[in-house]
Amino acid sequence: MPGTSTSVARGLDGVVAARTRLSHVDGDRGELIIGGYELKQLAGRVSFEEAAHLLWRGALPTRDELGRLRREFAAVRALPEQTLEVVRAAVAAPPIDALRMGCATSSLDLADPDDISPTADLEAAKRLTARFPTVVAAHARISEGKEPIAPRTDLPHAANFLYMLHGTEPDPIAARALDTYWVTVIDHGMNASTFAGRVIASTRSDMVSAVTGSIGALKGPLHGGAPGPVLDMLREIGSADRAEAWVRHELAAGRRIMGFGHRVYKVRDPRAEVLAQVVDAMAAARLEDRTLFHLARAVESTSLKVLDEVKPGRNLRTNVEFYTALVLQSLGLKPRSFVATFACGRVAGWCAHVIEQHAQDHLIRPQSEYVGPRGLKVN
């Protein structure tokens, strides 16, 4: 009724918008459950393909099912000519924009792009998940004045991406690190990009449209984040003894400390712990200079101490961006490609949510509270 005030949850904070079996985030306990498993049970222990199967099918695959899924991915990795033309045209665009454009063309070679049956959704999910790394690798090479490298059919998902990116036989250690990273970020509750995809799917729109919308939501800096600036921060600090003064100066200037604080987590992001272990293992296995890693650990410790002192009660803890930056740069990726590379892992989760939303078949249509004028007259 006119004049009646309603309770408004800004940003839908605290509003339960869906029931899902896919993932659960407990920000107070620092817990992330994916398909029934705590993250630490999956990351580094199952492959990305296995984690995708878990979300799409509800269970980890058998050996035969895993082999079949890998063959299916390999069969559709190559980009159609129209997609490659779009990627070439987007040479000057940010990689996440090129990925959004390339994703939208994926409906062009589907038998029936508007089919949202479970079978059609699963086929579209495989195609999108298989092609995202091909788009990102192709765009990275084209942006450097090089020709894209065609995908191989004999390599697992992560290893093939590194091959397409660098044109050399993939390092098993690097491939395992990337695989672990993609499992770590494969799904994360009802975040903005996942919700955007589910809203689109709830209209009975198709998988490609929904996932394209998810990329658009991920692009925003309040969601996709900025792991690249973490590297800039570490390089600017330079040494552990400069960390405290640098952090205090940034906070006094009203600037954010990159890699700290999360909308949901009030304790350390469990994904940060997984990725810290990945960086440590890579450095140890390769016998590389661990200066940057040790600096990151020191900056993390110092930042947490200063943040607790300067912003008490805010619970600004390490988030996934902090160690993502170290993992991805160690794989030879440029910071501008970080968000698009993240999407290569998250796409499997987006697809799972679209499948789930189509099965529920219920339109998402929240209300709004009108706060504008009333009774205006046209002269």
| pLDDT one-digit tens code per residue, 233-280 | 999 999 999 999 999 999 999 999 988 988 788 888 899 989 999 988
123 shares a domain with 213: yes
Q: With respect to residue 153, please indicate whether it lies within any of the assigned structural domains.
A: yes
Rounded Cα distance between 7 and 177, Å, is: 46
Q: What residue numbers bound the domain in which 203 lies?
A: 23-224+334-360
Same domain, 150 and 290: no
Task: For residues 68 and 179, state if they share a domain.
Answer: yes
User: Are residues 197 and 240 located together in one domain of the fold?
Assistant: no
Instruction: Please indicate, yes or no, if residue 12 is contained in any of the structural domains.
Output: no
- Per cent of the chain over pLDDT 70 is 97
The answer to the question of residue 4 being in a domain is no
Does 142 map to a domain?
A: yes
160 near 151, Cβ under 8 Å? yes
Q: What is the pLDDT of residue 1?
A: 42
Residue with tokens 């509003």: 15
CATH number of the domain at 36, please: 1.10.580.10
Selection from 198, 205, 208, 203 nearest residue 107 by Cα: 208
350 and 299 in one domain?
Answer: no
Q: How many domains does the chain have?
A: 2
Here the CATH number for the domain that contains residue 299 is: 1.10.230.10
Sign of the CA dihedral 34, 35, 37, 40?
Answer: negative
Residues 168 and 135 in one domain: yes
pTM, two decimals, is 0.92
Asked whether residue 43 is assigned to any structural domain, the reply reads: yes
Does a structural domain hold residue 268?
yes
Cβ count near 304 (within 10 Å):
17
Distance CA 36, CA 183 (A): 14
Mean pLDDT of 171-197: 96
Residue 39 domain-assigned (yes or no): yes
Q: 111-121: per-residue pLDDT in tens? A: 999 999 999 99
What pLDDT sits at residue 225? 67
Which residues have a catalytic role annotated?
262, 321
Q: Are residues 114 and 235 in the same domain?
A: no
Considering the domain architecture, whether residues 130 and 232 belong to the same structural domain is answered as: no
Question: Both 215 and 270 in a single domain?
Answer: no
pLDDT digits (tens, 9 = 90+) for 270-327: 999 899 999 888 877 765 567 888 899 899 999 999 999 999 989 899 888 888 989 9
In a domain, 152, yes or no: yes
Domain shared by 250 and 213, yes or no = no
pLDDT at 157: 98
Q: Are residues 210 and 192 in the same domain?
A: yes
Residue 68 and residue 142 in one domain: yes
